[in-house]
Amino acid sequence: MKQRVITGLVFGIVFIGAVLLINTVAFAFFCAAISVIAVWEIEKAVGLKNKLIIAASLVLSAAIPFITHFAVDFPAAPFGCIYVVLVFIFMLIKFEATKFEQAVTAIFASVCVPYSFSLMIVFRDVDRYIEGFNKTEGIYLLIFCVCAAWMTDIFAYFVGSKLGKHKLCPKISPKKSVEGAIGGVLGAVIVCELLLLVFNKYVFTEPAKLSYIAVLFVSIILSIAGMFGDLAASTIKRNFGIKDFGNLLPGHGGIMDRFDSLLFIMPVLYGTIYLMNSVGAI
């Protein structure tokens, strides 16, 4: 527990440092670094040893955050087609040591994971993507994501360890309980409401786009999405017989172990805010 707390504090400081540099290219380097590590951890978990596929996937994983940062008008569709064909060519070159599902996993991971992490940059520049939002609100949405993800984990862990009696998904993650899940949702809602209160009082110069009622419902959605992300990662680890994706973060495992819920939460928040704004719900 002590090691877990210390690692969490250290990484929290690193994350805060990255946020302080959010408007610089250093933030793109941060997003690229965690993208590359996460993709590599997934590929290692599925046993991929094809160096050509690994190299191509990691290059793409590093490139996507920079493409997002510099707002490059990138031909994603044609390049994506070429990338998929290239990966399968690399699979054929090393066909004896490469399974089809490993190649598909590399394609999926190297596109979806860095794209999700790059949403941190999209939130930073939300005024370019969602009409009516400004950069300050973008920073708020980014912190909203992190709070929803990490508060769900923290409250679910402590409530579950003290009150947990009913298993949530015993065949996937035996330690998770229904009581812990409820505690995680309630904890995330409370902290996210307090976050909005702080921003309304000390940061926003005009009323926030999101009301307290909206944050209540969105927080619940994000908390549940985060738990699905955690369970999805647990399913992958169980399928491939590993305890953690890595050991970069002592007490937590790897980047994927720490960010699995956030990878689900960020796309869900972006999609929810975009749709709510489009229909005039906010």
Distance CA 245, CA 257 (A): 6
Chosen domain end from 74, 95, 124:
124
Q: How many domains does the chain fold into?
A: 2
Residue 1 shares a structural domain with residue 34 = yes
SS3 content of the chain, % helix, strand, coil (to 5): 75, 5, 20
Residue 144 shares a structural domain with residue 65 = no
Residue 90 shares a structural domain with residue 157 = no
Chosen domain end from 124, 144, 172:
124
For residue 35, what are its two tokens?
Answer: 């993208």
Residue 115 shares a structural domain with residue 244 = no
- Which pLDDT does position 4 carry in this prediction? 65
Residue 219 shares a structural domain with residue 244 = yes
Residue 154, classed as helix, strand or coil, is helix
Residue 75 shares a structural domain with residue 199 = no
Residue 1, classed as helix, strand or coil, is coil
Q: Record the pTM.
A: 0.91
Q: What is the pLDDT along the chain (282 residues), one digit of tens a residue?
A: 666 667 667 767 887 888 889 999 999 999 999 999 999 999 999 999 999 999 999 999 999 999 999 987 878 889 999 999 999 999 999 999 999 999 999 999 999 999 999 999 999 999 999 988 999 999 999 999 999 999 999 999 999 989 988 999 888 988 899 999 999 999 999 999 999 999 999 999 887 889 999 999 999 999 999 999 999 999 999 999 998 898 887 777 899 998 999 999 999 999 999 999 998 887
- Which pLDDT does position 13 carry in this prediction? 84
Domain, as residue range, for 117? 1-124
Cα dihedral angle (39, 41, 42, 47), rounded to 10 degrees? 130
Would you tell me how many other CB atoms lie within 10 Å of the CB of residue 5? 10
Residue 44 shares a structural domain with residue 75 = yes
Tell me, what DSSP letter sits at residue 202?
A: I
